[in-house]
Chains A and B, each alone.
Chain A
């Protein structure tokens, strides 16, 4: 591997190591045969990076293929790469929208906002305060006046937020890369250049 790929190789091995150690009996070390292995959501939300996050279930569900939270290794890598520092803002916005959309109807409606707020404050606000906040959010961000936030509204609002990209919505140290690396027969210089 070249120097760039060396970082990718190492990160790839690290991630695979993490994935494997959660369920050593199920996850194989050798990925040449492209095995169809998925880890259940319960294991993943217990990872130290996600454990304290109030949105951990939603995060895992957003990256799973069928929305139920079971991640294959590719999905696992996807999750870390989007959450990393190197991911571009647009990509983060897309996934952030998915995460906050609790009922997966492609809109963030009032009930989604209420759930988000309850998770953020651990249900310490009164019902009146919750209603006030949700109304204010819709008032501020809803452009097309339908009483809920479409992706365009969300993106418009989040792109102006100064804190969104920097160091907050990201997890430690996992760089963005495309994987072929964790198993020797997949090593390929040219293809890993991205």
Chain B
């Protein structure tokens, strides 16, 4: 009774304090509260303390009612109102709230809240949902206030308020995150043309995120805090190159002024701390480089795990026809032309599936198919070997050119390696496509073979390139020794014999541009990667413009005066090449990972390139491409692409790690100059910045005797987890089979 009185109070308080309530709401609220109270009266008398539960149950009985029974519901409500109006204001005695009742009340409030949260999932009519929602909301508001009265009222009210604020914050954050996805509207525009493209665009987004990290931190810190251009020898263009330093040709080649800028490794000073913040530049350079790679691993693996959850069990072709029938229409289509295309492609897809089904019922000639497949694989291997040899040959030639001085040769000789790699990347996949027509596989399997071969191609190319780079690095290291020797002579010549040897002398002021400079192999490596990225970008743009746009223009305008129908025969409009584009993206990312340690500006360049490519691709898709004729589920390949990305990540970090660990850094450029190995910066930091016991602990921890058993333990736990996951999968399949057999009577 006390509760009822308090509830009425709370109810009135709520409606009064709510500044926006209007007459309608108040009236309805009062009606409903009157309606609820007498119900509780009844239940209280009947069931002794089970507060709104009776009403809850009647509500649940109401739920399965379909639309036609709405009138019945309204009638029920009216009946309750009539019953209740007499006894609404009768009691006003005080009663303490017991713990039990409080707990039950809380439970009911939680149930109502759950009902509100899941209301959108119910297949009821809108009006019914609205009514149920209003009732539930009012119940919750009133009782939350009432629950608070008693012990710990303030705390409970505070908790409720914080929960509400937290949920609101979460919702706003989700909205914000969605708004932040760049190109979200663009993605939706394109969908109506061909749904399968969406997955490519997702890829862009994912890759985009990786970039942001590494660049901006180091770059800006160096620019803000370090010594500016021109103050140190390593930061200045040498006298000999000054004349051509600002030419466009030199800049395009990333030498000259670009070489001695923040973009490349060589610019960074090896001073232990810089600026007034005592920022430890070398340490941070190292950590950021290693950290971004670790973060990339984590993101890729997490995405793979998430995709694996979504894929679930079950096989691909179990519902082939059913899916075609019920999920092939694209509800976003509003354009009659697109609709026509869609009808045509659906019809084609059905016809193909029918033909396949009919053929499956026939017998096939296994021997011929096998022979053809072996032949196809042989041809593919030949192509791969050929391309590998070609690159090796070209790289050797470019080394020869470099030895004889690059000025003697024209543009082609200078850029031969990059151009050959790009051209191979353009033509070999088409060749593989032709070869795969021999094999007669299902489109998805054929796509995977195709991807695998292109993958092998790119990998071979990349590693040949890296081996060539290694040769050059060794050359530069040799050169360094000579330069060091020359430098001692030059320094001695500065003093001109005025001071005897082995004595300290005041340093003479020399213009930084005049100091003889050591060859900086790290910058050279960075430059190579940047050049490769740029030429790759150019190839992509040219492919899009020529391969898609010019082809479409040609087909559209020359169709009138050509012998055969250009639009349906050869060359026709181009389809969006999923595999090629995705692989291109993945490899581009691999190169960025490889090169970003030596060229911190590379990710920034890549961000710019991704944006422009994205818009160019979008435009090309909208105006020049036709949708695929065959509609197969590219979504199943999502994890396949992520697996490739992971593999590439692993392969691209190998060279970087190798160079960090085993090649000595240059003596006069970069943040690690002067050290014997790059990772020494860590041990140096441990010695100088951390207390001594830390260093001891670390040295114990890095003892091989500790690390080897640790690795062994990790291997064993991987094995164990693998075994348990297998058993879970089998149990899952068993359960599914049981479910199926239970359904069949």
Contacts and interface: CB of A to CB of B under 8 A. Distances in A.
Interface of A: 2-4, 7, 32, 48-49, 51-55, 65, 74-75, 77-78, 81, 83, 87-88, 90-91, 94-96, 100, 113, 116-117, 120-122, 124-125, 129, 132-133, 136-137, 140-141, 143-145, 152, 154, 157-158, 160-164, 166-172, 176, 178-180, 185-191, 193-194
Interface in B177-217: 188, 191, 195, 198
A69 B133 CA distance: 26
Contacts of B122: 91
Contact of A162 (B123, B133, B134, B636): B636
A87 B77 CA distance: 30
Contacts of B323: 157, 161, 163
B357 A136 contact: yes
B126 A75 contact: yes
Contacts of A170: 331-332
* Interface SS of B by simple majority: helix
Given A140-B318, A143-B744, 12 more contacts: A3-B172, A7-B175, A53-B333, A54-B343, A74-B125, A78-B126, A160-B312, A167-B188, A167-B195, A168-B195, A170-B331, A188-B25
A157 B354 contact: no
B515 interface: no
Interface of B: 18, 20-22, 24-25, 67, 116-117, 119-123, 125-127, 129-130, 133-134, 137, 141, 168, 171-172, 175, 188, 191, 195, 198, 310, 312, 314, 318-323, 325-336, 338-339, 343, 346-347, 350-351, 353-354, 357, 633, 635-636, 740, 743-745
A136 B321 contact: yes
B126 A191 contact: no
21 contacts: A53-B329, A54-B343, A65-B67, A83-B331, A95-B123, A117-B325, A120-B350, A125-B347, A125-B351, A129-B354, A144-B743, A145-B744, A161-B319, A162-B636, A164-B327, A168-B330, A169-B327, A172-B332, A178-B129, A188-B20, A194-B117
B198 A167 contact: yes
A91 B312 CA distance: 21
Contacts of B327: 158, 161, 163-164, 168-169
A75 B745 CA distance: 38
A171 B331 contact: yes
Contact of B350 (A4, A133, A154): A133
The 8 closest A-B pairs by CB, nearest first: A74-B126, A52-B339, A136-B321, A143-B743, A162-B635, A94-B123, A121-B347, A78-B126
A190 B136 CA distance: 11
A63 to B, nearest CB: 9
Contacts of A161: 319, 323, 326-327
Contacts of A144: 743-745
B635 A191 contact: no
A132 B320 contact: no
Nearest to A160: B314
Contacts of A49: 334
Contacts of A171: 331-332
A4 B332 contact: no
A17 to B, nearest CB: 18
Contacts of A152: 743
A133 B325 contact: yes
Given A163-B195, A169-B327, A48 B334 contact: yes
Contacts of A154: 326
B520 to A, nearest CB: 50
A116 B120 CA distance: 28
B321 A137 contact: yes
Contacts of A133: 321, 325, 350, 353-354
A65 B125 contact: yes
A176 B18 CA distance: 26
A135 to B, nearest CB: 9
Given A140-B322, A163-B323, A124 B347 contact: yes
Contact of A52 (B120, B127, B334): B334
A162 B633 contact: yes
Contacts of B126: 74-75, 77-78, 178-179
A59 to B, nearest CB: 9
B329 A54 contact: yes
Contacts of A188: 20-21, 25
A10 B321 CA distance: 41
Nearest to B198: A167
A136 B330 CA distance: 22
A91 B354 CA distance: 31
Contacts of B188: 167, 172
A30 to B, nearest CB: 13
Contact of A116 (B21, B325, B336): B325
Contacts of A194: 116-117, 119-120, 133
Nearest to A128: B354
Nearest to A64: B67
Contacts of A117: 325, 350
Nearest to B122: A91
B120 A91 contact: yes
A95 B172 CA distance: 29
Given A75-B125, A163-B635, A141 B130 contact: no
A90 B123 CA distance: 9
A137 B320 CA distance: 8
A7 B338 CA distance: 30
Given A75-B125, A121-B350, A194-B119, A168 B332 contact: yes
Contacts of B326: 96, 100, 116, 154, 157-158, 161, 164
A65 B118 CA distance: 22
Contacts of B171: 4
Given A91-B120, A169-B327, A121 B168 contact: no
Nearest to A184: B22
Interface centre among B21, B323, B744, B745 (most CB of A within 10 A): B323
A2 B175 CA distance: 13
Nearest to B188: A172
